Structure 1
């Protein structure tokens, strides 16, 4: 969380939280849903990066954006994280959340709609639809089932490798380097996601 946000919280600790005005779409976009202007997708890079740095979750599974001293709960169209895959020239990939956090996959799933979902140390997330082709490159059939074999990079200085709209940030728990991951693909029902992975799609104040 930004230092200025911590300072604002210290100065105004009792600002009421709000809900119902910010939504995370299945494409990783932030959509204003109320009160005005409704249906507007946030596109300003500075605002997007501010939201990204100050996006977090409570123990009860409600995700929020800490907007200075005020907590704004986020409605989730699908999952609390949307993952992107960025290929590197050496054949490895960088796995990144919609907020710019670099991660490594721990488990992978597919739902009844054929969508890919990835679990990492930050949580469960939907793979962005435009990255499905790259993801499919790592799929290997194994006795009627599928596993995903991939080589993932955690770059030391991501900004030197990738020019992205959201500034990439290293997860403090990860060491820079190349990692091989082999994950079985488990089938699940998308309706089971909130309970199984402990998040609330439609939080209330």
Structure 2
């Protein structure tokens, strides 16, 4: 988190949190009240102050006010640039810990930065780096993996950087519980809630 946000939190520690205003879509675009944010300065500020609390709710720390973010797929959206896996906040993924494939072939990855979903435009990269128990991946092996029960390991493996990881099948709706994040954060008991953005 950036120093200015930390200073604001120290100065005004009890500002109520904001829910239902901010979002992150499946393409890694920030939303406010459903509208895409396009100003680079705002995007950079959100990217630099985006974290998770102890309950798996992701938020943007806007000075003293915490704005919780509803996420369409996962709290991070991952893309590939010159073979390097990046979060939508421009962090390099160096230590992927787990790879999951959902019922429609979507790929989620547990990273050192948090849980991420791979952009559908980069699924070809994922498939090109997958093998079937050491053999080249083919359509039959992929179909068999997609038919594997949710929560079970498949025969697929994927190479990401210097890591070789087994691929688990996991239904999309089960991903938040498995990876420890909340798609649509809600206030907890006795949590102060704001009705507007703090001045």
TM-score by length of 1: 0.77
Counterpart among 73, 78, 83 of residue 83 in structure 1 = 78
After superposition, give the CA deviation of every residue in 1:46-81 in whole Å (9 maximum; x if it has no partner).
111110110011111111000011000111111111
2:61 equivalent in structure 1 = 66
Residue 92 of structure 2 aligns to a residue whose secondary structure is strand
Alignment gaps of 5+ in structure 1: 34-38, 88-92, 153-179
Residue 113 of structure 1 aligns to a residue whose secondary structure is coil
Residue 140 of structure 1 aligns to a residue whose secondary structure is strand
1:118 equivalent in structure 2 = 109
Matches within 5 A, 1:26-175: 26-33=26-33, 39-87=34-82, 93-104=83-94, 105-142=96-133, 144=141, 145-150=155-160, 152=161
Q: Does 1:11 align with 2:11?
A: yes
Superposition deviation, residue 18 in structure 1: 0.7
Residue 41 of structure 2 aligns to a residue whose secondary structure is helix
Superposition deviation, residue 122 in structure 1: 2.1
More strand by share: 1
- Count of aligned pairs between the two proteins: 167
Runs of 4+ in 1 over 4 A off after TM superposition: none
Mapped to 2, the partners of 1:109 and 1:147 lie a distance apart of: 10
Over the aligned positions, Cα root-mean-square deviation in angstroms equals 1.4
Q: Does 1:185 align with 2:167?
A: yes
TM-score by length of 2: 0.79
